[in-house]
Structure 1
Amino acid sequence: MTQNFKPSIDINVLYRIRNGPLKDYQSDIDEFQKLIADNRIKYNEMFDVDMKTQKRLTNDTVKEICKLGKMQVQLLKDDPKKMLAYLYALFAQIEFSAIAKIVIHFQLFGGTILEVGTDYHHQKYFNDINNFNIVGGFAMTEMGHGSNVRQIETTSTYDLTTKEFVINSPSLSSTKFWIGNVSMFGTHVVLFTKLIFQGQDKGVHVIIVPLRDPVTMEVYKGIQLGDCGHKVGWNGIDNAWIRFTNYRVPRENLLNRFATITEDGQYLTNISSPNKLFQITISQLVFGRLLYIFGPTIFLAIGLKTAIRYAFSRRQFGEKGKPEELIIDYPTHNRVLLPMLATNMVFEFSRNWIIDNLQESSRSDEKREEYHSIVSGVKAMVCEFTIQSVSKLRVFCGGNGVSSYNYFGAMRNDLDVFQTAEGDGAVLYQQLSKFLLSEYKKWYKKQGMTGYIMKEVQTFLTTSNPIHTHYRSMPYLLSNEFHHHAFLFRFEKTRSIVIDHLNQCKGKGLSFLQSWNASLIQVVDLAKTYTHLFILENAQRTIQKVTDPITRHVLNDIVRLYALYNIEQDVGFYRNWNYLSSGKALAISEAVGELCNTLKPYALSILDSHKFHEDSLNIPLAKKDLDYVKHMADRVGIPYSSL
């Protein structure tokens, strides 16, 4: 039974491992948080606040943060880790809508100008962006198009006489929708639009469009806009719909790093096609997708700290005459919570790889494509897992989880927005699978039929090998070799299934697009199996670098638990393809249970290694002293001083 909760692992060492890329920026994080505290910028609880007031409070918070002078658009290129460090410092210091507003303003609006614009645009806009003199939005999504940006309908027709773009929303479905930062406070957007030049559609380009007079806040003639209404989450963000009618902006507002219209009226680009131009333009914005991995892992860490600390303090049922049992000791509890903790930690290791390789990814088209594809898969998986997990954590806290003071509702609602922001999961998985299949095609061209046959024979021998299918000794089940082999087998087998399915569809006379759509279930599975493989490999590499023996031992068990729990959850696949015998599958389940028991005494110190300002959120169930009864009483005003 769990009796002793004393930490038995160096939480500072573990903190540096979990936040590897930011460990050299700890002084920046501490300094920024001190500035926030000194300037009395506080977390605004929005439980009983109307929508308009939420938006005003959020905007006011962002104004105050910008006055501190730390957030700078240029950091996205000059020192992206420092920008991430500042964003990390904001979690639990200010409400999430304010962080989202900062990201939209600096990264989506400012970052687009940084990456797709030129020095002219940088010099003209950066100072006002950094000081929040203008408020920027990112106008890509339309009512009729979200993920399929190539088919957006908003047009910007170039007028050779006046040297202006004439912007129009030609249909109801072309209305820009969900444009953050705009309905109440936005002054500018970066507008994704079809550029029409001398009657030709040149594809999607980006233009800076002023919406309001920054002084009077009057909307300019030719623009209609309004609020998108109440949302599931992020209600501090003033999301807008926008329509344009013959609205004119000057030629210079085109972000023309990759394509330009000259003073004398020539359209020039070195990019071979509109599709290629679009791909290059979008690839510059990968930092935003990184943030949609960064945020959910922090959210889930906060949720896990709340639920697990509660589980170490809440008692229910037990033998007569003895104290009730702690709910963390029930297998139905710890066998869910601890694999969830392990999974979020390996997600953090992959997030760290993504951060570390951000700048390296821009050195070539090949690196950029691979990086963009990996980030797509990880973003989809992290967001999918975290929203499901936070809902489970709420349930595991019973009635206390229903209380808004414990933040599960707020976190679940905000995480829900992450599911489709910066790309729907099914679309992102397809992007990864297309990359994986194109890489396999290159391999096949090089290795030919001989290489293909050898790989298939190897797969057959694997499923015929009793070591893989039957061997169930605990040392082997816990080995990196077994975990990696199982994940790699699943990925390669799924890839073969996808290729076979595509070929069968092609043999029936279907076009490539029809074949692809008919194979979407398998295509998404391929991306998921690769993402799990990538996450495992990255976690195993991370552990190899750990020098502290106790920390390394605990982290090894964390990665083992992630791997075996993942195999257990997908046992149907492994049994269907004869990779596991029934006896070995049962042994894996037993190993998962044993790992949960092994890691349980370390759980609280692992939670302590995720540092955030707990007093800012003031979550009753998450307090370190584990006295949830006292803290819930304080929150709801139950008097107890005389008890």
Structure 2
Amino acid sequence: MSKKNALVRLTAIHNHISNQPQPTGPVDLKRERENATFNIKHMNWLFWGDKEFAEALQVAFLIIQRDPDLCFPAGHHFDLTIPEQREFTMRQIFRYRQLKGSLKNSLMLKAFELAMSMYSESFLMKIYVHDTLFLQSFQLFGTNEQNDSYLDDILKWKVIGCFAMTELGHGSFLRGLETTATYDRETDEFIIHSPTLTATKVWIGMAGQTATHTIALCQTIVNGKMYGVNWFIVQLRDQKNGRLLPGVTAGDIGAKYGRNGLDNGWIQFSHVRIPRTNMLMKWAKVTQEGKYIPSANPEISYSPLIGERLTVLSESVNIFGQFLTIACRYGCVRRQGANDEQIMDYQSHYVRLMPCVASTYVIEIVNRMIMNKWLGIMKLAQTNQEEFASHLPDMHAISTGLKATISWWGCEVLERVRRSLGGHAYSSYNAIGGAIGDWGVITTGDNYVLLQQTARYLLGCFRKVSRGSEIIGSAEFLNNFQQILSSTKSTLSDESQLLNLNYTLEMYTWLCFKTIETVATNIASSTTDEETTWNNNQVDAVKLGELYSYRFTLSEYMKAIEEYSKSTTSEFKALVPILIKLGNLWAIHLIHDSLGLFLERGYFNGEQVQMIKKCYLELCKEIRKECIPLVDSWGFPDFILKAPLGKFDGDVYPAYFNIMRAAPDCIGVPSYWEKYIKPLTNSE
């Protein structure tokens, strides 16, 4: 045993027998940080895209922390009532709007927006609903005249908007929406109406108390004929006094798991009349004479959902990053067991968390790549409708698949984090419970429906390549299906092969192919009607969508590593070895998680499975050695984490106890003592 290790061990023993034990957390985290094989600052630059943005983000954190209208001033925000949370969130938005005007540097403005989104999930969703969903609807579907009328007021928040799509009885199946927009030729108006209870728009962010206007997705009826769904501008509240307008009934949905600063609401329309020009008519139109002119590409109507679904990637990085930071720091500070081990050194502990750490790096890098691509495609909506529409099927498949799979993986990540904190996870002051609720609010919806949409796209692509056509986009790997399916058994013979990302990607691609082939064969051989046939193959179709989506994350991450390896930035090139190691863990995690499917198809034998399990455990152990440098690289300050157990300095227990002691009504006689307790304790 080295002198250094002996000193650490003696310190731990002293703390156990001393009446005044000294905290070991700071020493433990200092030692963990010394394990880094990479430059933490440079990794922080890479994780957030580049040095300039990462440094701007640190400045933004400082601005927020020092501003009493942005940062919670005292106590703990979990002790606020729901009305207090609502008011505080609007105070943040009001102050944010003031400061935004003074930040002329676009990079600093972007960093400030991201930092605020990290600090307050409720703030994030209010800003996102208005600045993205509502505003983007005008940019995508609004005419020049409509944009001239509304955009300036939207940008200034004189008009506060929400996005009314989902209904009480309808979610992802948009063709089933019931809210109607019926054209009245005599008055040149549309009549917006909720004909049934299930037509009530529900879970609409900011509809409960805040929004003055909404973009509502409605079934369009002209001359008694239904023409499908379109978007309509409907005013909800008087902009001067906040009262609901005639015919509009709206309210808050009430208690929910998280994001209580956000007023998710419901809306019912009772024959609300709006001008015909309040239909967003850049693509589809209704003339004053009552003629419906459809869009040349009807799928454009659904394009706002692509961006909305892709936000699950950035949301996951924010939430995973914060709560894995808390879990990893606590796991290295908490000591327990006969030999006073750090709980992070227990295999059962680090094997739960290290794949989650690796996935956060993968998702952030893939998020940056896919969002840059989507923003480029979005620009085409203003210039080239045909080219814009040509990208939508592939982007739709990517977005639906990622929304579902990352939502499910997020639930798993947060559950692993919750368990890793033991009983302390149930304290709101350690933020985990709120995170689970926030994630539930973000990922609401039937992900099974989304993955079936992805599967239908893949099956269509598979039919094309089976007929000799070539495809491009995220499913272009299908062009090689005959070559890959010609191999029925794995060639795995040495563990070193599992550390080659091209090799593991090929293995996972084989499983995707085999699943596509199985579903396609089952559907083709079915003797039942189309709807029954699909229903009988839903489970495999959902699994197909999931496999494709995870394969996409791995493939895109590998492209990023290749770019970094060629980078002229020496700081990023030096990070390639640890990025490859993280990619290897993600790849082996995907394969390990699908071993049942591989075995079912006879691809692996028992010896190969044991090799994969051994490699999986070894990779988790390798990443565990650097888990603190890896989470430190994300750069979340303590005030963003809001969890004493995740403090950077490792001195977690005094901070945790001080918050508990400061809780409202922590000490004292309860108000119900005289009425209910005293009669018991003083009874004859």
Structure 1 length-normalised TM: 0.88
Please name the residue that 1:563 is paired with: 587
CA contact (8 A) 2:257 2:434 kept: no
CA contact (8 A) 1:297 1:382 kept: no
- Give the secondary-structure state (helix, strand or coil) at the position aligned to 1:212: coil
Alignment of 1:289-308 (within 5 A): 289-308=309-328
Mapped partners of 1:326, 1:428: distance in 2: 41
Moved over 6 A (4+): 81-84, 454-457
Q: Deviations over 1:520-579 (max 9, x none)?
A: 101011111111211111122222222456521111111111111221221111122221
Please name the residue that 2:596 is paired with: 572
Task: Name the CA shift for 1:71/1:560 in 2 (closer, same or farther; >3 Å).
Answer: farther
- Give the secondary-structure state (helix, strand or coil) at the position aligned to 2:244: coil
Shift of 1:601: 2.2
Please name the residue that 1:214 is paired with: 239
Aligned match for 2:454, one of 432, 452, 456: 432
Task: Name the CA shift for 1:515/1:31 in 2 (closer, same or farther; >3 Å).
Answer: same
CA contact (8 A) 2:317 2:360 kept: yes
Shift of 1:624: 1.6
330-339 or 539-548: which moved more? 539-548
CA contact (8 A) 2:322 2:641 kept: no
Aligned match for 1:317, one of 337, 355, 377: 337
Q: Deviations over 1:500-539 (max 9, x none)?
A: 121232xx2x222221121110101111111121111112
Task: Name the CA shift for 1:211/1:447 in 2 (closer, same or farther; >3 Å).
Answer: closer
CA contact (8 A) 1:43 1:616 kept: no
Shift of 1:202: 1.8
Aligned match for 1:10, one of 27, 39, 46: 39
Q: Deviations over 1:268-327 (max 9, x none)?
A: 53525xxx52x21111442222222211221011111111111111111134xxxx1111
Alignment of 1:560-639 (within 5 A): 560-637=584-661
Q: Deviations over 1:6-29 (max 9, x none)?
A: 133212322233233x76645664
- Give the secondary-structure state (helix, strand or coil) at the position aligned to 1:231: coil
CA contact (8 A) 1:175 1:241 kept: yes
Task: Name the CA shift for 1:84/1:580 in 2 (closer, same or farther; >3 Å).
Answer: farther
1:58 partner letter: T
CA contact (8 A) 1:354 1:375 kept: no
Alignment of 1:227-266 (within 5 A): 227-262=252-287, 264-266=288-290
Please name the residue that 1:171 is paired with: 196
Mapped partners of 1:159, 1:55: distance in 2: 39
2:561 partner letter: I
Mapped partners of 1:190, 1:521: distance in 2: 35
2:351 partner letter: R
- Give the secondary-structure state (helix, strand or coil) at the position aligned to 1:572: helix
Q: Indicate whether 1:516 and 2:516 are aligned.
A: no
Aligned match for 2:509, one of 458, 482, 488: 488
Task: Name the CA shift for 1:482/1:70 in 2 (closer, same or farther; >3 Å).
Answer: farther
Q: Deviations over 1:457-484 (max 9, x none)?
A: 75565224xxx3551x232121223201
Measured on the aligned residues, the alpha-carbon RMSD in Å equals 2.7
Please name the residue that 1:500 is paired with: 521
Alignment of 1:358-373 (within 5 A): 358-362=374-378, 363=380, 364=387, 365-373=389-397
Shift of 1:436: 1.1
CA contact (8 A) 2:183 2:223 kept: yes
1:300 partner letter: F
CA contact (8 A) 1:470 1:581 kept: no
CA contact (8 A) 2:164 2:201 kept: yes
Shift of 1:69: 3.0
Please name the residue that 1:451 is paired with: none
Please name the residue that 1:394 is paired with: 418
Structure 2 gaps, min length 5: 6-27, 381-386, 471-478, 566-571, 663-684
Mapped partners of 2:37, 2:310: distance in 1: 33
Mapped partners of 1:236, 1:536: distance in 2: 36
Mapped partners of 1:82, 1:266: distance in 2: 49
Task: Name the CA shift for 1:50/1:149 in 2 (closer, same or farther; >3 Å).
Answer: same
Task: Name the CA shift for 1:414/1:523 in 2 (closer, same or farther; >3 Å).
Answer: same
Aligned match for 1:145, one of 149, 152, 170: 170
Task: Name the CA shift for 1:636/1:475 in 2 (closer, same or farther; >3 Å).
Answer: same
Please name the residue that 1:41 is paired with: 69
Q: How many residues align?
A: 608
1:414 partner letter: D
Mapped partners of 1:378, 1:624: distance in 2: 32
Mapped partners of 1:85, 1:116: distance in 2: 29
Task: Name the CA shift for 1:153/1:360 in 2 (closer, same or farther; >3 Å).
Answer: same
Please name the residue that 1:334 is paired with: 350
2:86 partner letter: K
Mapped partners of 2:100, 2:261: distance in 1: 22
Query: What is the percent sequence identity of the aligned residues?
Result: 27
CA contact (8 A) 2:404 2:447 kept: yes
Mapped partners of 2:440, 2:514: distance in 1: 32
Shift of 1:83: 8.1
Alignment of 1:370-385 (within 5 A): 370-385=394-409
- Give the secondary-structure state (helix, strand or coil) at the position aligned to 1:142: coil
1:360 partner letter: G
Mapped partners of 1:216, 1:47: distance in 2: 30
Structure 2 length-normalised TM: 0.83
- Give the secondary-structure state (helix, strand or coil) at the position aligned to 2:79: coil
Task: Name the CA shift for 1:145/1:343 in 2 (closer, same or farther; >3 Å).
Answer: same
Shift of 1:114: 1.8
Structure 1 gaps, min length 5: 449-453, 639-643
Mapped partners of 2:316, 2:573: distance in 1: 30
Task: Name the CA shift for 1:436/1:215 in 2 (closer, same or farther; >3 Å).
Answer: same
Aligned match for 1:463, one of 488, 498, 501: 488
Mapped partners of 1:53, 1:157: distance in 2: 40
2:542 partner letter: V
Mapped partners of 2:332, 2:58: distance in 1: 30
Shift of 1:100: 0.7
